[in-house]
Chains A and B, each alone.
Chain A
Amino acid sequence: MSSITIDTRASRKVRELLKFLLENGKIDAALTMRRIPENNSYDLALITDASNINEAVPLIPVMTVNAGQVLSSISTSGKKIAVVLKPCELRAFVELVKRERGSFENLLTISHTCGGVFPLDLVEKGQIEELIPKYEKTISKGEIPVNTRDTCRACEHFIPMNADITVSVAGECESEKGCMMYLNTEKAEEFAEGFAGERSEQKFDPSVLQKTLNARLAEKEKLFASMTASGPGLDQLVDTFGKCVGCHGSNSVCPICYCLLCDFESANFDYNLPYFEEHLSRRGALRLPPDTIFFHLGRLTHMSFSCVGCGMCSDVCPVGIPVAAVFKKTGEKTAALFDYVPGRDAEESIPVMVYKEEEFSDIG
């Protein structure tokens, strides 16, 4: 597999690639982030007309919606689509493919080494453009931009897994050297055939990002340690999730939570009055609506092993609960039980669908 040297404005080169693919009929559509100049905002867009590709900002450190989630509703169209995804979005999509919510068949996946994304409140304040130069400088040095999502700063999976094309942005994209675009698969070679650029046989070398990795791991340890500051246990849990307003926004923006109707919104969780009477007689009081902590604990057991740590849940929480940090921390543990890494391999089954006869000998 080969690679293409691109200049430091990697975003432009990806845009050119998308344009090339559209113009030459190699794809029917491109899924990418887009800037909406009149509103100073961004969205995820499916672009079919090459003349509209100028609006694309494929590598912008903004995630308005986890693109993996959106992709699950269009990937089976039978049309060829090139998709630019952040590594966690790609991993989320892999998790969805395992759940039969999408297919790679007609997709060309383009991803990049990721410096993390800015929280939505910075996006909404229109501050992104001014933050980008410093952001790019920081990540090219292998350091962590300060004002990105907390789970981004603590993310060790910033190198795409399974992407057809990897654009190196973080760490090695220094001015004199230029960035690289790695064609990882036959599919990538096929699609990029005829695309201008100096080719070489260079392969992506993750070791250049060791410094970034170390920084991220240190940041992760700090984040996880900060979460148990006030001591673990039920009180800590109530402290963290006690102010939850029950909007279930964390669930609706979660790419893994694909259920049309979440169990916690179903009639299973409507109670008759005797239920409340019983609680009154036992505890003297009960929160209304009930099941606030239950919802989060339930979601942790249902999906945490597939959590890709994208951070959407924290961003949409109206009361600033660090949902993503809790899910990332807990999810790493539940995934580790099965030696599982969410999004690593679409052929892998999700842990609850399979079993080994000999395992967990301490249970039972």
Chain B
Amino acid sequence: MTDSERKGAVLPAAKEPGDAVLDFLRLAITKKLADAVILPMKVPSGDSYAWILMNDISLLDDAVPIAATMPVQGAKALRSLTRKGPGNLTVIAVMRPCEIRAAIELSKLGQVHPDNLILATYDCPGAVQLQKYVDDPAGSEKRFAEMLQKGKPDNSAKPVCHICEDFSLFDSDLHFGYLGLPDKEMLVIAGSDKGLELLEELGLASAEDLSVWEKGIDQLKADRIKARKSAFKETEAQLRGFDGLLSVFANCIGCHNCQSACPICYCRLCYFDSETAEQNPDALITAASKRGGISLPVDRIMFHTGRMVHMSLSCVSCGQCSDACPVSIPVAGAFSYVADQTQRTFEYTAGRNDGDPLPLRQFRKSELPGVHELVKDADAEVSSHE
């Protein structure tokens, strides 16, 4: 759907943005336009959220559509539901833009079947870092309420949220927009035919003009783009060269939490956990002897660079890897920077629903001039040796 085709509707005023979303979902279920919804709910201990698939409308009262933190990447919830096929349930999932983008990547990878899913997202101010939230849920909620009002992340938010350009996005079926709008006003905007159909069936009054909201978003976006540039510069300086890479990942203990928290890394058994990647004991001793010593477990840098190669084209910079790291390595900053480069190489943006296939699923006969240069240089070198 192009920008000019976008259609929106005005939602009845509610106390908080989240309440307006809940009212919308209640209406959709009551009118039998959806069988179930997926929303975050506070866990009983009160210090985190969990994704809950629900069709019991009374449970909606306890749901928090716009949650302060994201303990589990929403795309993983969608994957667990539809990995084996789309099924017959029409389910509306309300998630952060980066979660929807990860779900779109996973659908390209055949791990999410979105046919009967209605993916809804909202203007995301950022998410509070998981550990900070768990340590102080009440304080974090307060800070998030402020973030929500300003549309900007504060320093309790994940570092990648500060540099996220796609915090308000149309590649979902539905989008709830409120940033830049007068207080308590909320728009629901269709991003696909599926979304448009739902809005029409719900009979919501359509909004003629989206420009106020769009302007608000653009202003916020400008800040983030600026922050992104300077953050990437900083990351580049830290990460550059082998020593840089080593120092950033120096504390890595090889737990692979970053990989298991990653929505894109869907492999049941990661190559780096498999027998193929397992070094045989003799080879390990030999490797140690060559260097006088070797750090264990081996291949920790190999793991991270390998993962960059394997999944950075689909990285949505959601920051889950950093949140899951027990030794606070800025994994997400590094991956976000690398992903920006690899995706740029193929003029690909992860998480877009524009029909662009995954870069590694296609090729053009003439492309990547830079690589040709490298090949030419290598050829020249070979012939000069001959």
A and B from one assembly? yes
Residues of A within 8 A of B (CB): 28-29, 31, 34, 36, 38-39, 41, 43-49, 51-52, 55, 64-65, 70, 73-79, 120-121, 123-124, 235, 238-240, 242-243, 245-249, 252-253, 260-261, 265-267, 270-274, 276-277, 280, 283-290, 292, 315-320
**What are 5 A-B residue pairs whose CB atoms fall within 8 Å in the complex?**
A47-B293, A239-B44, A242-B44, A285-B53, A319-B130
- B278 beta carbon closer than 8 Å to chain A: yes
Residues of B within 8 A of A274 (CB): 87
Question: Which residue, of A238, A243, A265, A267, has the highest number of chain B Cβ atoms within 10 A?
Answer: A243
> How far, in whole Å, are A39 and B250 apart by their CA atoms in the complex?
7
Residues of B within 8 A of A246 (CB): 72, 76, 260
Question: Which residue, of A38, A65, A77, A121, has the highest number of chain B Cβ atoms within 10 A?
Answer: A77
Question: Top 5 A-B pairs ranked by shortest CB distance?
Answer: A273-B87, A284-B56, A49-B292, A77-B281, A243-B48
Q: Is the CB of B268 within 8 A of A49?
A: no
Closest to A286 in B: B53
Q: Is the CB of B134 within 8 A of A48?
A: no
Kindly specify which of B202-210, B322-330, B340-348, B363-371 makes contact with the partner chain. B322-330
Given A273-B87, A320-B134, residue A70 in contact with residue B269 (CB < 8 A): no
> How far, in whole Å, are A302 and B292 apart by their CA atoms in the complex?
39
Given A48-B289, A284-B55, A320-B131, residue A78 in contact with residue B296 (CB < 8 A): no
CB distance from B29 to the nearest CB of A (A): 12
Closest to B246 in A: A39
Residues of B within 8 A of A267 (CB): 268
Residues of B within 8 A of A273 (CB): 81-82, 84-89
Residues of B within 8 A of A280 (CB): 35-36, 53-55, 89
Residues of A within 8 A of B86 (CB): 273
Q: Is the CB of A31 within 8 A of B296?
A: yes
Contact of A315 among B38, B83, B326 (CB under 8 A): B326
Q: Is the CB of B288 within 8 A of A29?
A: yes
Q: Is the CB of B292 within 8 A of A289?
A: no
Q: Is the CB of B47 within 8 A of A243?
A: yes
Closest to A235 in B: B44
- B71 beta carbon closer than 8 Å to chain A: yes
> How far, in whole Å, are A274 and B87 apart by their CA atoms in the complex?
8
> How far, in whole Å, are A273 and B325 apart by their CA atoms in the complex?
32
Residues of B within 8 A of A (CB): 35-36, 38, 43-45, 47-48, 50-56, 58-59, 71-72, 76-89, 130-131, 134-135, 247, 250-251, 253-257, 260-261, 268-269, 273-275, 278-279, 281-282, 284-285, 288-289, 292-297, 323-328
Contact of A123 among B269, B275, B327 (CB under 8 A): B327
Q: Is the CB of B59 within 8 A of A265?
A: no
> How far, in whole Å, are A48 and B284 apart by their CA atoms in the complex?
11
Q: Is the CB of B45 within 8 A of A243?
A: yes
Given A260-B273, A284-B59, A289-B72, residue A77 in contact with residue B293 (CB < 8 A): no
Closest to A320 in B: B134
Q: Is the CB of B251 within 8 A of A41?
A: yes
Q: Is the CB of B43 within 8 A of A318?
A: no
CB distance from B94 to the nearest CB of A (A): 13
Given A242-B50, A265-B268, A317-B326, residue A46 in contact with residue B134 (CB < 8 A): no
Closest to A318 in B: B324
Q: Is the CB of B323 within 8 A of A318?
A: yes
Q: Is the CB of B284 within 8 A of A73?
A: yes
Q: Is the CB of B77 within 8 A of A288?
A: yes
Contact of B51 among A243, A270, A288 (CB under 8 A): A288
CB distance from A52 to the nearest CB of B (A): 5
Q: Is the CB of B324 within 8 A of A249?
A: yes
Closest to A288 in B: B77
> How far, in whole Å, are A49 and B82 apart by their CA atoms in the complex?
53
Q: Is the CB of A64 within 8 A of B253?
A: yes
Q: Is the CB of B80 within 8 A of A249?
A: no
Residues of B within 8 A of A288 (CB): 38, 51-53, 77-78, 80-81
> How far, in whole Å, are A78 and B286 apart by their CA atoms in the complex?
12
> How far, in whole Å, are A36 and B250 apart by their CA atoms in the complex?
9
Closest to B63 in A: A285
Closest to B80 in A: A289
Residues of A within 8 A of B38 (CB): 288
Q: Is the CB of B285 within 8 A of A48?
A: yes
Residues of A within 8 A of B45 (CB): 238-240, 242-243
Q: Is the CB of A290 within 8 A of B80?
A: yes
Q: Is the CB of A43 within 8 A of B130?
A: no
Contact of A29 among B84, B251, B285 (CB under 8 A): B285
Not counting A65-B254, A274-B87, A283-B56, a sample of 9 additional A-B residue pairs whose C-beta atoms are within 8 angstroms of each other reads: A29-B289, A34-B295, A45-B296, A121-B326, A260-B275, A266-B268, A280-B53, A284-B55, A287-B50
CB distance from A288 to the nearest CB of B (A): 4
CB distance from B357 to the nearest CB of A (A): 25
Q: Is the CB of B292 within 8 A of A52?
A: yes
Residues of A within 8 A of B72 (CB): 245-246, 289
Contact of B284 among A77, A252, A315 (CB under 8 A): A77
Closest to B294 in A: A46
Q: Is the CB of A124 within 8 A of B327?
A: yes
Contact of A41 among B250, B269, B275 (CB under 8 A): B250
> How far, in whole Å, are A293 and B254 apart by their CA atoms in the complex?
25
> How far, in whole Å, are A290 and B58 apart by their CA atoms in the complex?
21
Residues of B within 8 A of A317 (CB): 326
Q: Is the CB of B52 within 8 A of A272?
A: no
Residues of A within 8 A of B55 (CB): 280, 284-285
CB distance from B359 to the nearest CB of A (A): 27
CB distance from A53 to the nearest CB of B (A): 9
